[in-house]
Structure formats: structure tokens, C-alpha cells
Amino acid sequence: MGVRFIQAAAVALALVLAEPGTSRAFSLINGAWGERAAVWANGHGLEDGIDVGVAAGFEAALGITDPLEIDLFRQAVLAAFGSWENPALRFNVSFDASTTVDPGSGFELDLMALPYDHEAFGGDFLFGLATWQTDFGLRTLTNGVTALGSILTGTDIYLNTTAIAVIDAILVDDEDRTAAITRLLMHEIGHTVGVAHPFMYSNWDTDEDPHNAMEIDPLDPWSTLRPSEQLAEDAVMRVRPCGSDFINCPPLYYTSLTFDELGARDALYPVVPEPSAAALLASLAALGSLQRGRPRRLRAGAHPARPDVAPSEAEAAALERV
Ligand SMILES: [Ca+2]
Ligand SMILES: [Ca+2]
Ligand SMILES: [Ca+2]
Ligand SMILES: [Zn+2]
């Protein structure tokens, strides 16, 4: 399978890292794009969903001990993973799991909460850190295209309990706290599926408008994408959207992916639509009308069961919806 790389991304809401003033479209980890981009792949763990282990004691490490609060918090964790899902990219989340501080072991994605002085943070005062391990080789993308590139094989997310406690002490509203941690998790999950900070490498969009949906061709996503310099100030993958202000910063409390992240997901994990039941029915209707339209040889004295007719209005309408 080739050389194995272990890489760490210095990450979300970094207090110590400066970000250039603009943030553009989406960018991919390792700087690779197109068919070489680092992705989870079918046959390498993606086929049955990405198995997520949330460490035993994760909630308690973040100061959440009330059973009712734990339940609500777990809903937020599930929502953060759910926000990234499409039919090609799924997560199976297990709580109270046995995890490892090493992207190459444990679950395909381990989620843990560690104190600031843990060696995993390397002395950086970050809110969260995502790490990943990749192989390089031939893999089949979710649209069936086979190409050489990086394959994500193991990932970890570490939340910094020390940094989060500081913000928790300031945020009195439970909803704000839940939203802030959901957004932080969404950001880190983005790294574990192959998305970088917008300013890190080439930034991709389908046009020059960062605030519209990217219309991506699932059969050939990169044919529709091009580098863009346009600002998406509220993107979830953006670091420090309001500079050093972590409290009066609405984007830090958004709990939906923006068009940037959705575009990245659908470029990395394209979903080729299957024929819908409606389309199948319409095809059958079309087949039926074709058969009825065929000349029939009648035996003497026999009558056709029904006369040859053009498709009814209802059938014609069904055909147009295909
Ligand atoms: Ca799996
Ligand atoms: Ca691990
Ligand atoms: Ca756009
Ligand atoms: Zn980050």
C-alpha cells in the first residue's frame, strides 16, 4: 500500500495561531485535490460507515455529569457527526468507548477530551485538535472512479478540557455552550474526512459566490470546481472567524455546515443518484406504451385485448418527471 504517513493538523479556534484576513471556499488536507485528495474509501473502512468511539468519561472530562445533561450533550455530538453525512459518508457513533491517543489504533475515529498539558497538544493552546493517518495507493471513490491518492485510515479528535472550561465559565447559557461545542466538533470532524482550513491550500468553489450551493457533478466533481478567492466569513472550517473574540462571535455558534463544507463533502464523497422508484415506474409505463404501440398480428376473428393508444395524460406526465 506504500508509505504510511502520520500527520497532525493544528486546528480549530487556535488561540496562538494567526490567520490571514480572508477565508475562501474549501481547501483539502495534504494540499492534494482532485482525484488524489485524501479521503476515506470503500474497501478501506468507509463501506460500513466510519466507526467513531467517544471515550468513556468524555462527558465528565468536559464537566458534564448530570444524566439528563449527558443525554442532551450526546444528542449534540450525534448532530455534529450527522451534519457531515450524505448517503456515501456515514458515521457509527459508540459512546463509553475504549479509545487510544494515536490515530493509527482504536476506532476509525476516536473522540477524546484531554487537558491542555497533554502531550497530544504539543504545548499549543487549542480548543481542539484533529490528527489523521493516511496510506497512499489506488482507491475507488464513492462515484466509482478509481485513482491513485491518499486514503484516510485512522483519525483522532482531542478536545482541550482546559480551554473549553475557560469558555464555559464565561458562557452562562446552556444553549450557547452546546452550540459552541457542536460547532467545534463539526470543525474537527471536517478535518477527519479530509477538509482543511480555507486559507491553507487552493480554495475551491464552482463560481465566485461563496454564499450559494455548489452544484457539483457527482460523476466528475472536479470538472465543476475551480479556485476561488471569495470570502466565506462564517465557514465552519474557518479558524477564529472573529479574531480573538470568542464570545460575541455568531459564527462560532452556528450548528449547520455552510455551502463551503457541503461542497467539500460532496466533492470528496460524491453521491451518484440511483434511479428512483418514480423513475422506474415511469420507465415501466414507457415500456408498456411501446409494447402497446407495436404492430400486432391478429389472428382471424381475434380482437386485440385493448386498442393501441398513445400514452394517457397521466403516463405522459410521469415520463416528463424522469
Ligand atoms: Ca468502517
Ligand atoms: Ca486512536
Ligand atoms: Ca459558490
Ligand atoms: Zn481546524
DSSP letters along 148-207, please?
EEEEEEEEEEEEEHHHHHHHHHH---HHHHHHHHHHHHHHHHHHHTTEE-TTTS--EESS
User: For residue range 28-64, what is the model confidence (pLDDT) as tens digits?
Assistant: 887 788 899 999 999 999 999 999 999 999 999 999 9
Cβ(165)–Cβ(63) under 8 Å? yes
User: For residue range 61-91, what is the model confidence (pLDDT) as tens digits?
Assistant: 999 999 999 999 999 999 999 999 999 999 9
In angstroms, what is the span from residue 210 Cα to ligand 3's centroid? 4
Average pLDDT of 189-198?
94
In angstroms, what is the span from residue 96 Cα to ligand 2's centroid? 14
Percent of the chain clearing pLDDT 90 (strictly above)? 58
Domains and CATH numbers, the chain: 4-268 (3.40.390), 277-320 (no CATH)
Percent of the chain clearing pLDDT 70 (strictly above)? 77
Residue 172 banded pLDDT, cuts 50, 70, 90: confident
Average pLDDT of 137-160?
96
In angstroms, what is the span from residue 235 Cα to ligand 4's centroid? 11
Ligand located closest to 158 CA: 2
Residues with CB under 5 A from ligand 2 (ion): 100, 102, 106, 110, 156
pLDDT at position 182, please? 96
The pairing of beta strand 226-227 with beta strand 195-196: unpaired
